[in-house]
Amino acid sequence: MRRRSPWFVLVMAGLYVITASCGKKSTTEGTTIHFWQFWDMAVVTPIIAEFEKQNPGVHVEVEQLTWATGLEKIQAALASGTQPDVCELGSTWLPRFSYEGVLEDLTPVYQAERDSFLMWDSAFYKDHVYGLPWVQGSRVLFINRELFKKAGLDPDHPPDTWNDLLDASKKISALGNGVYGFGQNIGEKYVLFKKFMPFAWGNGGDVFDANWNVTVNSQPVLDALEFYLKLAPYSLQEKQEVLDQYFKTGKLGMQISGAWNVKNYKIEAPKLDYGCALVPRPAVDHGEHVGFAGAEMLVVFKGSAQRDAAVKLARFLQAYPQARAVSIAAGSVFPASREAMSDTTFTNDPHIKVFVEQSLTSRTPPAHPGWIEMEDVMDHAVEEAMYGRRAPRWCLDDAAKDITTIAAKFNQK
Amino acid sequence: MWLLLPWALVYGAFFVFPFLFSFVLGFLNYNPLNVSHTTFVGLGNITRLVGDADFHGALRNTLFFVIGTVPVTTTLALALAWLLHAPLPIKDVLKAAMFLPSILSVVVIALLFKLFYAPGGALNEALRAAGLPTHGWLTDPSTALPAIMAMDVWAAVGYYALVLYAAFTSIPESLYEAASLEGAGHWATFRHVTFPMLKPAIGFVLVINTIRSFQVFVEVLLMTQGGPLGSTNTLVTMLYDTAFRRLDYGYASVIAYAVFILSGLFSVLALRRMRSQTPVQTRGVPA
Amino acid sequence: MTRFLRWLVLVAAILLMAYPLAWMIAVSLRTPDGLNLRYYADVWSSGPFTRYFVNSLVVAAIVVTGNIVFCTMAAYAFARYRIRGAKLLFFLVLSTIMLPKQVILVPLYIEMQRMGLIDSYWALTLPFLVDPFNIFLIRQYLLGIPTDCEEAARIDGAGEMFILFRVVFPMLTPVLAVVAIHTTLTNWNSFLFPFILTNSTSMRTLPVGLALLSQGAYSIDWGHLMAGAVLSALPVVLAFLIFQRRIIGGLTTGMTR
Element (H, E) at B39: strand B39-40
Q: Is the pLDDT of residue C31 over 60?
A: yes
Of B6, B106, B236, the CB nearest to C130: B6
Contact between C95 and B122 using a beta-carbon 8 Å cutoff: no
Q: Which residues of B touch C226 (CB under 8 A)?
A: 111-112, 115
In percent, the amount of chain A with pLDDT more than 70 equals 92
| Mean pLDDT to the nearest integer, B93-99 | 84
Q: Give the C-alpha separation, A205 to A215, whole Å.
A: 8
* C188 at interface of B, judged by CB pairs closer than 8 A: yes
Give the list of residues 6+ apart from residue B225 with CB closer than 8 angstroms, or none.
A188, A189, A190, B237
Residue B12 CB coordination number (10 Å): 10
Residues 6+ apart with CB under 8 A from C116: A24
Sorting pLDDT into bands at 50, 70 and 90, what band is A412? low
Given a contact cutoff of 8 angstroms between Cβ atoms, the answer to whether A212 and A124 are in contact is no
- 3-state secondary structure at position B246: coil
pLDDT of residue B287: 35
Q: Is C253 exposed, middle or buried (0-12, 13-18, 19+ CB in 10 A)?
A: middle
Nearest CA to A138 out of A124, A118, A158, A155 is that of A118
The pLDDT of residue A27: 46
Task: Please state, in angstroms and as integers, the Cα–Cα distance from residue B98 to each residue in B116, B201, C17, C24, following that order.
Answer: 19, 18, 7, 16
Mean pLDDT of chain B: 86
Q: Please answer whether residues C119 and A82 qualify as being in contact, where contact means their C-beta atoms are separated by less than 8 angstroms.
A: no
A28-37, B96-105, B269-278, range with the lowest pLDDT: B269-278
In this prediction, residue A24 carries a pLDDT of 41
What per-residue confidence (pLDDT) applies to A32?
A: 92
The reported pTM is 0.86
Question: Would you state the pLDDT for residue A398?
Answer: 96
CA atoms within 13 A on the CB side of A265: 24
List, for residues C112-159, the tens digit of each pLDDT value.
877 778 778 888 898 888 888 888 888 888 888 888 888 888 888 888
Residue A89 pLDDT > 80: yes
pLDDT class for A122, splitting at 50, 70, 90? Answer: very high
Please state the domain extents for chain B.
52-275
Please determine, for residue A265, whether its predicted confidence score (pLDDT) is greater than 70: yes
Which residues does residue A86 pair with via DSSP β-bridges, in sequence order?
A: A35, A300
**What is the pLDDT averaged over residues A207-236?**
95
Q: What is the pLDDT of residue A307?
A: 93
Strand partners, A274: A144
pLDDT at A133 exceeding the cut of 80: yes
Please indicate whether, in this complex, the C-beta atoms of C113 and A67 are within 8 angstroms of each other: no
Helix (H, G, I), strand (E, B) or coil at C220: coil
DSSP annotation of B282 reads P
> Who wins on pLDDT, C42 or A357?
A357
Query: A260-269, A326-335, A401-410: lowest mean pLDDT where?
Result: A260-269
User: What's the rounded mean pLDDT across residues C97-118?
Assistant: 75
Q: Which amino acid, A268?
A: E
- Residue C130 gets which letter from DSSP? S
Residue type, B138: L
C216 touches chain B (CB under 8 A): no
> Residue C179: its chain B contacts at CB < 8 A?
none
Residue C30 three-state SS = strand
**Amino acid C252: pLDDT:** 57
Q: A18 pLDDT exceeds 60?
A: no
pLDDT of residue C47: 62
pLDDT of residue C220: 62
Helix, strand, or coil here: B60? helix
Give how far B83 is from chain C: nearest CA, Å: 6
Lowest model confidence (mean pLDDT) among B150-154, B226-230, C99-103, C126-130: C99-103
- Would you state the pLDDT for residue C67? 92
Alpha-carbon span A367 to A124, nearest angstrom: 7
Is the pLDDT at B106 greater than 60, yes or no? yes
Provide the CATH topology of domain A140-292+366-412: D-Maltodextrin-Binding Protein; domain 2 (3.40.190)
Q: What is the DSSP letter of B277?
A: S
Question: What mean pLDDT is predicted for residues A219-226?
Answer: 96
Band of the pLDDT at A65, cuts 50, 70, 90? confident
Determine the pLDDT at residue A360: 93
Give the residue among A372, A387, A381, A401 at the shortest CA–CA distance from A190. Answer: A372
Q: B228 touching A, CB under 8 A?
A: yes
What is the rounded distance in angstroms from the CA atom of residue B253 to the CA atom of residue B237? 13
* Best residue of A73, A75, A411 to probe chain B, by most B CBs closer than 10 Å: A75
- B247–chain A Cβ distance below 8 A for any pair: yes
Select the more confidently predicted residue: A356 or A27. A356
The Cβ of residue A80 has, within 10 Å, a number of other Cβ atoms equal to 17
pLDDT at A216 over 50: yes
**Which is the CATH superfamily of the domain at A30-137+293-354?**
Periplasmic binding protein-like II (3.40.190.10)
Tell me the pLDDT band of C83, cut-offs 50, 70 and 90: low
Contacting B residues, span 176-235, partner chain C, CB-CB under 8 Å = 201, 204, 208, 211, 214-215, 217-218, 222, 235
Which of B139, B148, B248 to probe by mutation at the A interface, max A CB count within 10 Å? B139
State residue A8's pLDDT score. 46
Q: Å from B246 to nearest chain C CA?
A: 14
Q: How far is CA B36 from the centre of its chain?
A: 39
Alpha-carbon gap, residue C9 to C3, rounded angstroms: 10
* pLDDT at residue A6, rounded to an integer: 43
CA-to-CA dists, residue C104 to A139, B182, C7, C96, C100, angstroms: 38, 56, 46, 10, 8
Does residue C50 have a pLDDT over 50?
A: yes
Q: Which of A8-22, B123-137, B265-279, C236-250 has the lowest mean pLDDT?
A: A8-22
C165 contacts A5? CB cut-off 8 A: yes
SS3 content of chain C, % helix, strand, coil (to 5): 80, 0, 20
| d(C-alpha A336, C-alpha A356), whole Å | 10
Q: Which chain C positions have a beta carbon within 8 Å of B267's beta carbon?
A: 94, 98
Please tell me which chains touch A, using 3 or more CB pairs under 8 Å as the contact test: B, C
The nearest CA of chain C is from the CA of B228 a distance in Å of 18
Rounded-to-integer distance, Cα A391 and Cα A395, Å: 7
Share of chain C above pLDDT 90, in %: 10
A202 neighbors A282 (Cβ within 8 angstroms): yes
Q: Note the residue count of chain A.
A: 413
Q: Is the pLDDT of residue C189 over 50?
A: yes
* Residue in chain A lying closest to B116 (CA): A242
Chain B contact set for A389 (CB, 8 A): 229
B247 φ, ψ (degrees, to nearest 5) = 55, 35
Indicate whether A314 pLDDT > 90: yes
Provide the shortest C-alpha distance from residue C202 to chain B (in Å): 20
* pLDDT in the model for residue A86: 96
Q: Which of C197, C218, C226 to mutate to test the interface with A (most CBs of A within 10 A)?
A: C218
What CATH number does domain B52-275 carry, 3.40.50.1100, 1.10.10.10, 3.40.50.150, 1.10.3720.10?
Answer: 1.10.3720.10
Q: For C199, which of A24, A40, A73 is closest by C-beta distance?
A: A73
Q: Looking at chain A, which residues constitute the CATH 3.40.190.10 domain(s)?
A: 30-137+293-354, 140-292+366-412
Mutate to test the interface with B, among C39, C83, C102 (most CBs of B within 10 A): C102
Plot region of B16 (φ>0 → left; ψ -120 to 50 → alpha; else → beta): alpha
Q: What local confidence, expressed as pLDDT, does residue B284 receive?
A: 36
Provide mean pLDDT across the span A44-71.
Answer: 89
**Residue B19 is which amino acid?**
F
Question: Which residues 35-74 of chain B have a CB within 8 Å of chain C?
Answer: none
- B15 to chain C, any CB pair closer than 8 A? The answer is yes
Tell me the pLDDT tens digit for each residue of A151-163: 999 999 999 999 9
Report the gap between the CA of B224 and the closest CA in chain A (Å). 5
What would you measure as the largest C-alpha separation in chain A, in angstroms?
A: 86
What does the H/E/C string look like for C90-107? HHHHHHHHHCCHHHHHHH
Q: Helices marked H in chain B — which ranges?
A: 5-11, 17-25, 44-51, 53-84, 91-103, 106-116, 122-129, 141-169, 173-181, 186-189, 195-214, 218-223, 235-244, 249-276
pLDDT at C201: 73
A31-37 vs A58-64, strand pairing mode: parallel
User: Is the pLDDT confidence value at A3 over 70?
Assistant: no
**What 3-state DSSP class applies to B48?**
helix
pLDDT-based confidence at A399, cuts 50/70/90? very high
Q: Which of B144-158, B221-235, C119-133 has the highest mean pLDDT?
A: B144-158
- Per residue in A379-398, pLDDT tens? 999 999 999 989 999 999 99
Q: What is the 3-state secondary structure (H, E, C) of chain A?
A: CCCCCHHHHHHHHHHHHHHHHCCCCCCCCCEEEEEEECCCHHHHHHHHHHHHHHCCCEEEEEEECCCCCHHHHHHHHHHCCCCCCEEEEECCCHHHHHHCCCECCCHHHHHHHHHHECCCHHHEECCEECCEEEEEEEEEEEEEHHHHHHCCCCCCCCCCEHHHHHHHHHHHHCCCCCCEEEEEECCCCCCHHHHHHHHHHHCCCCCECCCCCECCCCHHHHHHHHHHHHCHHHEEEECHHHHHHHHHCCCEEEEEEECHHHHHHHHHCCCCCEEEECCCECECCECCCCEEEEEEEEEEECCCCCHHHHHHHHHHHHCHHHHHHHHHHHCCCEECEHHHHHCHHHHCCHHHHHHHHHHCCEECCCCCCCHHHHHHHHHHHHHHHHCCCCCHHHHHHHHHHHHHHHHHHCCCC
Top mean pLDDT of A79-93, B61-75, C16-30, C199-213 is at B61-75
Please state the rounded mean pLDDT for residues A84-110. Answer: 95
pLDDT at A13: 52
Mean pLDDT to the nearest integer, A120-130: 94
Q: What pLDDT, on a 0 to 100 scale, did the predictor assign at position B279?
A: 43
Residue type, A281: R
